Amino acid sequence: MAIATTANSLSTRDLYLFNKGNLFHSYRTFGAHSVRKGNKRGVRFTVWAPNAKQVRVVGSFNEWNGVEHAMELIGETGVWSLFIPKLKPGTIYKYEIFTKDGNRLLKSDPFAYQSELRPSTASVVAEGFDFKWNDGDWQQRKLEDSPYREAMLTYEVHLGSWRNRGKEQFWTYEEMADALVDYVVDMGYTHIELLPLTEHPLDQSWGYQATGYFSPTSRYGTPKQLMHLVDRCHQRGIGVILDWVPGHFCKDDHGLRLFDGTPIYEGKDWKRAEKPLWGTLAFDFGCTEVQSFLISNAIYWMDVFHIDGLRVDAVASMIDLHFDKPQELLTYNAFGGKENTDALRFLKRLNETVFQYFPGALMIAEDSSAWPDVTAPTYMGGLGFNFKWNMGWMNDMLRYMALDPNDRRHHHNLITFSLLYAFSENFVLPLSHDEVVHGKRSLLNKMSGTYEQKFAQLRLFYGYWMTHPGKKLLFMGGEWGQFDEWKDAEDLDWELLDYDSHGSMHRYVKALNHQYLQQPSLWERDCDPGGFEWIDVHNAEQSIIVFLRRGQASHEFSVIVCNFSYHGYSDYRIGVPEPGEYRIALHSEAAAFGGVLTDVPEVRYSKTAPWHGRPCSITLDLPPLSFQMLVFAQSELECEDRLTT
């Protein structure tokens, strides 16, 4: 067996920056790297374990006996390093850590770039990431376009259950690069959001309880195969958002918990570290080395894998020291409050750093709190995200849609309240995986009424969702009205597409998606109060709302009419702002979408009959539980020259 030699080529400046919380590409220093030392080729291992008595590298190459592969502690940095010649990519390894109290631990590498397939837990020396990218046009476009004024219609995906071949028989990243990307493009989505891809031991955690933050899960293949998937998305004009979990990590022995025998990642205050709701541990956001670790991880996914943005999970649990904690675990900040000031500072620094390196990135907060200015710049006192999930809108609307329509007149505020705060942040309207699991029922099954009425209500709901201000996100299976809850161990119920009701819903969602893309009025001014106007907000008795969405051009607008009641209305008059022709771009009750109308008129013409405070008006037939979108088509004809047909 070759005798290992110590690697002294580490940059002392990089280690200093790491200790100070300022090494934002620490994945280039830490972990296992194939390098040349003198005339020898091998692997350099580097790990942070400041309170360890000794650290060794063990693996199949030394029969898991690290006596000849002891690492050297570099000064007072808490960093250990070792160069082992002749090792190659594919080598599996762990760190053998001897604690100051005499215990021996076997730990996976926190900076591992590849991991064994569970239930095995060792790290893997990865191949060099010399992937040939073909997404230059996409990267240039990101720099030129503003995400606030662009369409953003996101398809949320769990790769293990979108398609699979059976229990634990997953499609690879590379296979997804064909089938999934083709499907997303055909359906009209602009982005894919992937549930966490960081390595995790338990399938049922969906990646939210990680052990390998730099390691794409091996369930679906290799890191290079993931790069291929992202590259294919970009070549087809699809952005990729990664669900990212910096708030907490799992307690498995091979992971970050008590990494060197002491709480270096979770911090010394066990009350603050414990996350009893999830059985996990919170990161110590005040620790400078943890800051280097986490911020580097965010940069890593964008730098190495070309990920376009991060949906930052559970922000509310990060910034609230009392979030879902029993009385005995409550702690307070230095000012006596429950705000986690370390987490708040961390999030600001995270966003500042990401945008410094990647100005076109998406940083999306999944935040259920009422914390103000989440999407305001840090120099204005905000947290610095550029988007936030609108959990209030989602909760109100799902509650409203579950009501018997005969009772909705008493709860009209549930569909109108969101417009009081719709422009206080840059919002995404999420219909995510969290709403279709754990007994919450699928979106279709949340709707009230008979089987047919459920489909009509879901079409109506989707229409209102798509035309309400804010970017959009829909979890897989929702596009055809999957009746059962999401089953994470099985693939989606694709066979439902053979049934008329679900096939019609699928056609409707596809048509709705493409109408969204074609109408700039639905997204150009999502973050601008001038992009929305109520036409009729007060008709609670009939459960009808009418509103306007405006684009940048003066004559570019859409009129939205939603009837949330069981009653249909003929010749229902609505006010409109301009004379001329209005094209019915989409009607949820068209027979092609599973509705009752075999003949939907293509256009309507306004009359010079003021209504709803507008100079002109149109009359429409409103079927029960229906959505209509009319798009203004500028005409030379004056209102009085045409009568509404």
What distance, in Å, lies between the first and last C-alpha atoms of the chain? 90
Mean pLDDT value of segment 323-337: 96
**Per CATH, is 152-314+333-365+378-403+427-520 categorized as 3.30.420.40?**
no
Strand partners, 605: 581
| Number of neighbours of residue 43 by Cβ within 10 angstroms | 23
Q: Is the pLDDT of residue 5 over 50?
A: no
What pLDDT is recorded for position 635? 66
Gap between the Cα atoms of 242 and 298, Å rounded: 10
The secondary structure element, H or E, covering residue 104 is strand 104-107
Please, which pLDDT band fits residue 38 given cuts at 50, 70 and 90? confident
- For this structure, is 367 an active site residue? no
Q: Is the pLDDT of residue 641 over 90?
A: no
What whole-number percentage of the chain has pLDDT above 70? 97
Give pLDDT tens digits for 350-391. 999 999 999 999 999 999 999 999 999 999 999 999 999 999
Query: Annotated catalytic residue: which of 231, 313, 493, 526?
Result: 313
The secondary structure element, H or E, covering residue 48 is strand 40-48
Gap between the Cα atoms of 244 and 299, Å rounded: 12
Give pLDDT tens digits for 229-262. 999 999 999 999 999 999 999 999 999 999 999 9
Q: Is the pLDDT of residue 613 over 70?
A: yes
Q: Which residues contact 141 (CB under 8 A, 6 or more apart)?
A: none
The secondary structure element, H or E, covering residue 514 is helix 500-518
Question: What is the b/e burial string over 316-352, where b = at least 16 CB atoms within 10 angstroms of the residue's CB?
Answer: bbbbbbbbebeeebeeeeeeeeeebebbbebbbbbbe
| Angle in degrees, 0-180, between the axes of helices 288-303 and 341-357, rounded to the nearest 10 | 30
- Residue 393's SS3 state is helix
The percent helix, strand, coil of the chain (3-state, each to 5) is 30, 25, 45
Give pLDDT tens digits for 529-554. 999 999 999 999 999 999 999 999 98
Gap between the Cα atoms of 150 and 580, Å rounded: 28
Mean pLDDT value of segment 331-354: 97
Mean pLDDT, the chain, integer: 95
- Residue 46's SS3 state is strand
Q: Given phi > 0 = left and psi -120 to 50 = alpha, else beta, which region is 177?
A: alpha
Please, which pLDDT band fits residue 95 given cuts at 50, 70 and 90? very high
Question: What is the b/e burial string over 114-132, where b = at least 16 CB atoms within 10 angstroms of the residue's CB?
Answer: bbbebeebbbbbbbeeebe
What pLDDT is recorded for position 637? 52
What pLDDT is recorded for position 10? 87
Mean pLDDT value of segment 210-231: 97
- In the numeric block, the tokens 């005040």 are attached to 286
Please, which pLDDT band fits residue 168 given cuts at 50, 70 and 90? confident
Which of these ranges, 6-10, 197-201, 462-466, 473-477, has the smallest mean pLDDT?
6-10
Q: Is the pLDDT of residue 642 over 80?
A: no
Q: Is the pLDDT of residue 639 over 70?
A: no
Q: Is the pLDDT of residue 2 over 50?
A: no
Give pLDDT tens digits for 414-449. 999 999 999 999 999 999 999 999 999 999 999 999
Gap between the Cα atoms of 519 and 548, Å rounded: 13
User: Structurally, what CATH architecture does the domain formed by 529-641 represent?
Assistant: Sandwich (2.60)
What pLDDT is recorded for position 212? 96
- In the numeric block, the tokens 């990519």 are attached to 89
Gap between the Cα atoms of 491 and 488, Å rounded: 7
What pLDDT is recorded for position 167? 85
Query: Annotated catalytic residue: which of 284, 289, 366, 435?
Result: 366
Give pLDDT tens digits for 175-215. 999 999 999 999 999 999 999 999 999 999 999 999 999 99
- Is the pLDDT higher at 39 or at 217? 217
- Asked if 152-314+333-365+378-403+427-520 and 529-641 have one fold, the answer is no
Q: Which residues contact 210 (CB under 8 A, 6 or more apart)?
A: 196, 198, 199, 200, 245, 249, 250, 255
Mean pLDDT value of segment 72-100: 96
Gap between the Cα atoms of 633 and 627, Å rounded: 19
Query: What's the Cα-to-Cα distance from 74 to each of 6, 80, 216, rounded to whole Å?
Result: 10, 6, 29
Q: In the CATH scheme, what is the code of domain 12-124?
A: 2.60.40.10
Gap between the Cα atoms of 597 and 530, Å rounded: 34
What whole-number percentage of the chain has pLDDT above 90? 94
Q: Is the pLDDT of residue 493 over 80?
A: yes
What pLDDT is recorded for position 8? 42
Give pLDDT tens digits for 41-66. 999 999 999 999 999 999 999 999 99
Give pLDDT tens digits for 494-531. 999 999 999 999 999 999 999 999 999 999 999 999 99
Domain ranges of the chain: 12-124, 152-314+333-365+378-403+427-520, 529-641
Q: Given phi > 0 = left and psi -120 to 50 = alpha, else beta, which region is 51?
A: alpha
Tokens for 52, please give them. 């360890």
Gap between the Cα atoms of 442 and 435, Å rounded: 7
3-state secondary structure 565-625: CCCCEEEEEEEECCCCEEEEEEECCEHHHCCCECCCCCEEECECCCECCECEEEEEEECCC
Q: Tally the C-alpha atoms within 13 A of residue 59's C-alpha that lie toward its C-beta.
A: 26
- For this structure, is 135 an active site residue? no
Strand partners, 523: none
Mean pLDDT value of segment 102-130: 94
Residue 292 main-chain phi, psi, to 5 deg? -60, -40
Please, which pLDDT band fits residue 340 given cuts at 50, 70 and 90? very high
Mean pLDDT value of segment 384-400: 97
- Residue 109's SS3 state is coil
